[in-house]
Structures are given as C-alpha cells and as structure tokens.
Amino acid sequence: MTPYSIGRYDMRRARAEQLIGAIMQKVGHLVEDGRQEEVYYLLHELLSQGGIEVLSDYDRQRIGLPPRGPDGWTVEEIMALEQRRLDAILTPVVASMPTYDPNLGAAANNPPPEAKRP
C-alpha cells in the first residue's frame, strides 16, 4: 500500500495542502510566472515530509483539544513549563570549592597541572 493510496486518508498531507494553498494565495503573485508549481512542490516537501503541521483554533476545538491563550500556550502547557522552572530553581546546587590548608604545605595546596586534570 502506497502512502497516498485511496484506502487511507493522510491528515498530514491534507493539512499541508491547506496551508500551502493559503500561502500561495497570499504570496503566489510574487513568484515568477511558470514557477508556481515548483514553489508548491517545494513547500509541500518542506511541510508534509518535514512533519510540519499547523492546527488552527477551530481545528483544535473540533477535535476536542483545549484552547490556546493569546501567547499560543494551553493552561496545561503553561503549568507544566512553570513546574519545570520551579523544580530547576528549587534544586540544590552543590558547589565544590578548593580549600587551603596551611598544614599541608605549598605542594599539596598547589598540585602540578597534570594532577588537576580529571
């Protein structure tokens, strides 16, 4: 069965074609005559084969996904990102500081360069 056979509806391809159509309507007049088809196929390759999809707010609502806010994030995504940020802030940082011990002498406090390497 080929990827674009009659028995299977390729949603990624359909979304790519919708997006390409919208792009070509807006900027197609800027493309030289006779090159629109080439631009179409390049955009199709970029979007459908590259796995790039755009879901409109209407599409999200239709398939039951939560709405996005004005910045493009859902409430759940913002909460997850904020939790990750808080976890990073609250994770203790262990600092290892070299110490100086006057009883050990200069050789122990200043090891040769080859001894400092891990």
| pLDDT band at residue 111 using 50, 70 and 90 as cut-offs | low
Question: Interior CA angle at 95 toward 89 and 99, to 5°?
Answer: 160
- CA separation for the pair 74, 66 (Å, rounded): 7
pLDDT for 1 beyond 50: no
Average pLDDT of the chain?
81
- CA separation for the pair 13, 28 (Å, rounded): 20
Domain boundaries, the chain: 1-54, 68-118
Structure confidence at residue 95 (pLDDT): 80
Residues 42-100 have pLDDT tens digits of 998 888 778 888 888 888 899 999 989 888 899 999 999 999 999 999 999 888 777 76
Percent of the chain having pLDDT more than 70? 77
Percent of the chain having pLDDT more than 90? 27
pLDDT for 18 beyond 80: yes
Indicate the burial class of 7 (C-beta count within 10 angstroms; 0-12, 13-18, 19 or more).
exposed
pLDDT for 110 beyond 70: no
pLDDT for 117 beyond 80: no
